[in-house]
Amino acid sequence: MESTSRQFKDNARTALRDENLQGALKRLASGFPERRLEAAARLPEFEALRDQARGIKNHVLDNLDYYLEAFEDRVIESGGKVHWCDDAQAARQTILDICRKTGARTVTKSKSMIGEEIAINDFLEENGIEPVETDLGEYIIQLRREPPSHIIAPAIHLSKDQVEATFREKHQDLPADRVLEEPRSLLEEARGKLREKFIAADVGLTGANMLIAETGSNVLVTNEGNADLTYSLPRVHIVIASLEKVVPTLEDATTILRVLARSATGQEMSVYTTFCTGPRRPEDLDGPDEYHVILLDNGRTELLGSEFQEMLRCIRCGACLNHCPIYRSVGGHAYGWVYSGPMGAVLIPGLIGLGEAHHLPNASTLCGRCEYVCPMRIPLPKLLRSWRQRQFERRQTSNVSRWALNLWAWFARQPALYRLLTRTAVSVLAMFGQSGRFNALPLAGGWTQSRDLAAPQGGSFVKQWADKQFFDQVNNSNSG
């Protein structure tokens, strides 16, 4: 997918003015976080399970090559094929080759972030094969030719009126008098349309929430059941997954599943959790004849062994998006590439380059809520700071920021002068800010445009500290 991450600031400005989007983000903010809290409260072991889930992934990442080889062995033993792909181009071509060999005309697809990463839909279309997204949200945005704006709720940015308008425009056999006002009628319209596609499809393309080294299986998690119709009806099942999705055993997958849905939607378990292993067996009545797994690198190995390795623990639950004040203000599209929110701001620079995504690590208040809710305990604020540090080292930070930081650093090394200056600044600000806050300040327009700046109360930090030390000493000597 082409990135517009460079235009983050413009994207964000547009998003803040988009009333539909702002309404949708308000619904998101009140929904998922509350349900996550309820689910966590119902499971006393939740925090301990998060620790174990982190431990499992850390262990896998340290032994990634061995687990991938074990996984491949098991896929081959069960009659499937593994295709190792270095980048998006290799993965696209491999998928196209399999489709051509099958003589495929229609490919049904369940939601996959890797599918977005390699922009598989456009590629299949260019080559005369019709890709059909089957997750309701993905289907809607495919009709609108938009990227997803949330990992697990891809059409979160749309209102039902927009969905209705989309169906009326794209479903040409839809009678004009058909009532499509309620979400239920929209769902039924999509269900009917997609039912035909499921039955007609030659190839089913799914992602993978996990791969299991022990059994050579892929795990699929959905609430709609669309992934299950995607792999069980066509002749060929293709799984696309990035390298870090592998876990050692069924038990390890089970532990991660216990924290995944609770973190994502606040469900105890998603409705459908599926383990697919190889093609159908000779005695089976249904299921695909062929099973292919595309193992995609696309920049992951570059993160291994680096300070960003921890990002590869991510299980794409979306909890950090749901809790992020920035995501909740600007939505997913502003980030300009496949991923968004705190996990996107860390992962995107790693995958498409810090130059292209230079705004994203700065699109954070470092409030820490993302780390607090991450089921895999990824230290997202720390990783965002690491990117910022790299930017500074590579001179990718703006001249104004560099100049200001250097100026500050110079003053900070002259304690007497620094104290004098801060003391003066504090008393000047306190004098002008007698109402307790500023709603406009020279050089701080970026801040005061959307919120007030508190006026300083009391002296500078250094002065308050010194005063406290003095009082403590006096008190101690009095009591002694």
In the window 271-300, what residues touch another protein (CB under 8 A)?
Answer: 271-281, 283-287, 295, 297
Alpha helices (H) along 176-332: 183-200, 226-232, 250-264, 300-303, 319-323, 327-330
The span from the CA of 72 to the CA of 353, in Å, is 30
Number of amino acids touching another protein (CB under 8 A): 103
Closer CB to another protein, 2 or 19, in the complex: 19
Q: Which is nearer to another protein, 85 or 370 (CB)?
A: 85
One of 94, 106, 206, 364 touching another protein (CB under 8 A): 94
* Contacting residue, 37, 48, 76, 466, with another protein by CB under 8 A: 48
Ordered DSSP codes for 169-183: HH-TT--TT----SH
User: Which residue in the set 13, 34, 76, 249 belongs to the binding site for another protein (CB under 8 A)?
Assistant: 249
Q: Which residues contact 231 (CB under 8 A, 6 or more apart)?
A: 110, 204, 206, 220, 237, 274, 276, 287, 288
Candidates 268, 142, 284; CA nearest to 205 is 142
Answer for which of 13, 27, 105, 178 binds another protein (CB under 8 A) is: 27
**Phi, psi angle pair for 208, to nearest 5°:** -155, 125
Which of 12, 15, 21, 24 is close enough to bind another protein by CB under 8 A? Answer: 24
Phi, psi of 81 (to 5 degrees): -130, 145
For residues 194 and 236, which CB has a smaller minimum distance to another protein in the complex? 194
Q: SS3 letters for 64-133?
A: HHHHHHHHHHHHHHCCCEEEEECCHHHHHHHHHHHHHHHCCCEEEECCCHHHHHCCHHHHHHHCCCEEEE
Of residues 304 through 323, those in contact with another protein by CB under 8 A are 304-306
Residue with tokens 């976080």: 33
Q: Does 199 bind another protein (CB under 8 A)?
A: yes
Q: Which of residues 43 and 366 has its CB atom nearest to another protein in the complex?
A: 43
Please identify, using beta-carbon distances, which residue of 10 and 65 lies nearer to another protein.
Answer: 65
Choosing from 254, 401, 457, 469, the residue that interacts with another protein (CB under 8 A) is 254
Run of H or E including 217: strand 217-222
- The two structure tokens encoding residue 376: 């895999």
Which of these, 342, 391, 404, lies nearest to 367 by C-alpha position? Answer: 342
Backbone angles phi, psi at 274, to 5 degrees: -125, 140
Does 144 contact another protein by CB under 8 A? no
* 89 counts as binding another protein under rule CB under 8 A: no
Footprint on residues 50-69 left by another protein (CB under 8 A): 52, 56, 59, 62-69
159 binds another protein (CB under 8 A): yes
Which two tokens mark 19? 């009333």
Question: Which one of the spans 213-221, 333-341, 398-406, 425-433 is the region binding another protein (CB under 8 A)?
Answer: 213-221
Of 37, 76, 187, 462, the one binding another protein (CB under 8 A) is 187
Is residue 160 close enough to count as binding another protein by CB under 8 A?
yes
Decide whether 44 or 445 has the Cβ nearer to another protein: 44
